[in-house]
Chain A
Amino acid sequence: MDLKRFGEWLKSLKNEGVEHLPIEERRSFLKIGLKVTGVFAGGTILSVVSRAQEVFGAAPDYVDKYPYKPHYSMVIITDRCVDCQLCMDACVKTNHVPPYGWRTKIFERRLKVGPNEYARQFMPVLCNHCNIPPCVRVCPTKATFKDKKTGIVRMNPKKCIGCKTCMVACPYDMRYFNEERRAVDKCDFCWESRLSKGEKLTACAAACPAGVRNFGDLSDPNSKVYKLVHDPDRVVWVLRPETGARPNVFYTIDGLG
């Protein structure tokens, strides 16, 4: 059969419905991130789509446009996270975060992997150092700003009047009011505590025992973050892409099941 006739034959087939496909088989597809949408020719042909979009939202289209140098970024391999919170401990210690505040958090969610089967997944969240940061847009005193060189969204606590508008504007809830400093505080990719002093990694990335938090320069093709984001075999996504904030924190999985 030549390709054209094969295509016609394919089109002529009727979708027999996924209900008849054994649950086990459907589940094994789901586990590798594919959803079976059709069953043809008595089960010998399956049509599948990636579940990535449905589960995680679309991969960002602004990848490959890196205006900063270094363009600091974090790629989180979220299925490696075990919620040990060593990253949070290191952050609190390094950046003097009070017990009521946070610069990063770990969220937990239940992913449905089968009809009655769920998998636990942990998801670290920190400031996304958005390319179009809603917090910077709303700040009346320019106390929060996007660093022109590195793209890091930083705070100038002296200018902060504590109006908390930025806290409301952040789609990721990654700002808190620091009572002691009388100013809003947030993750600065450890710029003040580490990077500006010559360190290469944030405290959380250095503390993670599981290789979850990959930090580096997204404009450098030799960096781990560049390789992860540009790996064609990887599903890469960002949180809440619909807000248009264009995060520089990316998410992916190693498919550890």
Chain B
Amino acid sequence: MKRWLLLLLVFVFSLAFYQPLFGQDEEEYPEEPIIFTKPVKAVIFDHKKHVEDAGLSCDDCHDELFEMAAGTAEENEDFNMESLYQGKYCGACHNGEMAFPANRKCTTCHIGVLGWQRLQQKSGEGESSSEGHH
């Protein structure tokens, strides 16, 4: 009986130590893509692509280029293509050296009103509680 208890304790402790380590290894990020609707409709940003494929970590962009809270950059006067060309926001990497330059491949990120409407339809078909997201 006591051996059972001991084994259980070992198991519980290993879980307790393992989980924080696991959490540090994997960066956590929003699953849903971020959609910018200002200054024009609409631009998509996918965390997954940038973390998994491009190998970026949170602090590569947060909080210097972008605040964590979604929608903060959009409130800035200078959140526009001109700033990107000057190396601000997405332009810090999308400069033709680290990633494709901001003045090319427009529709990679610009999904337009049509793409935006399509995404809204999709999420509308899913759970109806998506209203509360931010």
Who on chain B is nearest to A256 by CB?
B104
Task: Tell whether A83 is near chain B: CB-to-CB under 8 Å.
Answer: yes
Do the beta carbons of A80 and B41 come within 8 Å of each other? no
Q: With A79-B106, A122-B107, A257-B104 as known contacts, state yes or no: A84 contacts B114, CB within 8 Å.
A: no
Task: Tell whether A106 is near chain B: CB-to-CB under 8 Å.
Answer: yes
Give CA–CA (A106, B110) in the complex, Å: 14
Do the beta carbons of A85 and B104 come within 8 Å of each other? no
For chain A, residues 64 to 97, give those with C-beta under 8 angstroms from any C-beta of chain B. 79-86
Do the beta carbons of A256 and B40 come within 8 Å of each other? no
Task: Tell whether A108 is near chain B: CB-to-CB under 8 Å.
Answer: yes
Q: Mark A222-243, 1 if CB is under 8 A from B, else 0.
A: 0000000000000000000000
Do the beta carbons of B107 and A120 come within 8 Å of each other? yes
Task: Tell whether B119 is near chain A: CB-to-CB under 8 Å.
Answer: no
Query: What residues of chain B lie closer than 8 Å to A114, measured between beta carbons?
Result: none
Q: Mark B83-113, 1 if CB is under 8 A from A, else 0.
A: 0000000000000000010011111101111
Tell me which of B40, B104, B106, B114 contacts A106 (CB under 8 A). B114
Do the beta carbons of B107 and A121 come within 8 Å of each other? yes
CB of B40, distance to nearest CB on chain A (Å): 4
Tell me which of A85, A119, A209 contacts B107 (CB under 8 A). A119
CB of A88, distance to nearest CB on chain B (Å): 8
Task: Tell whether B33 is near chain A: CB-to-CB under 8 Å.
Answer: no
Do the beta carbons of B112 and A82 come within 8 Å of each other? yes
Task: Tell whether B124 is near chain A: CB-to-CB under 8 Å.
Answer: no
Do the beta carbons of A122 and B112 come within 8 Å of each other? yes
Query: What residues of chain B lie closer than 8 Å to A106, measured between beta carbons?
Result: 112-114
Q: With A106-B114, A120-B115 as known contacts, state yes or no: A85 contacts B106, CB within 8 Å.
A: no
Q: With A82-B110, A108-B112, A120-B115 as known contacts, state yes or no: A256 contacts B105, CB within 8 Å.
A: yes
Q: Mark B114-128, 1 if CB is under 8 A from A, else 0.
A: 110000000000000
Query: What residues of chain A lie closer than 8 Å to B107, measured between beta carbons?
Result: 79, 82-83, 119-122
Query: What residues of chain A lie closer than 8 Å to B41, measured between beta carbons?
Result: 83-85
Do the beta carbons of A256 and B106 come within 8 Å of each other? yes
Tell me which of B100, B105, B113 contacts A85 (CB under 8 A). B113
Query: What residues of chain B lie closer than 8 Å to A121, measured between beta carbons?
Result: 107
Query: What residues of chain B lie closer than 8 Å to A79, measured between beta carbons?
Result: 106-107
Query: What residues of chain B lie closer than 8 Å to A82, measured between beta carbons?
Result: 40, 106-107, 110, 112
Query: What residues of chain B lie closer than 8 Å to A84, measured between beta carbons?
Result: 40-41, 110, 112-113
CB of A252, distance to nearest CB on chain B (Å): 15
A-B pairs with beta carbons under 8 Å apart, 23 shown: A79-B106, A79-B107, A82-B106, A82-B107, A82-B110, A82-B112, A83-B110, A84-B40, A84-B41, A84-B110, A108-B112, A108-B114, A119-B107, A119-B108, A120-B107, A120-B108, A120-B111, A121-B107, A210-B106, A256-B103, A256-B105, A257-B100, A257-B105
Q: Give the top 9 A-B pairs by smallest Cβ distance, nearest first.
A: A83-B112, A82-B110, A84-B40, A120-B107, A85-B113, A256-B104, A108-B114, A257-B105, A82-B106
B residues sitting closer than 8 Å to A (CB atoms) are: 40-41, 100, 103-108, 110-115
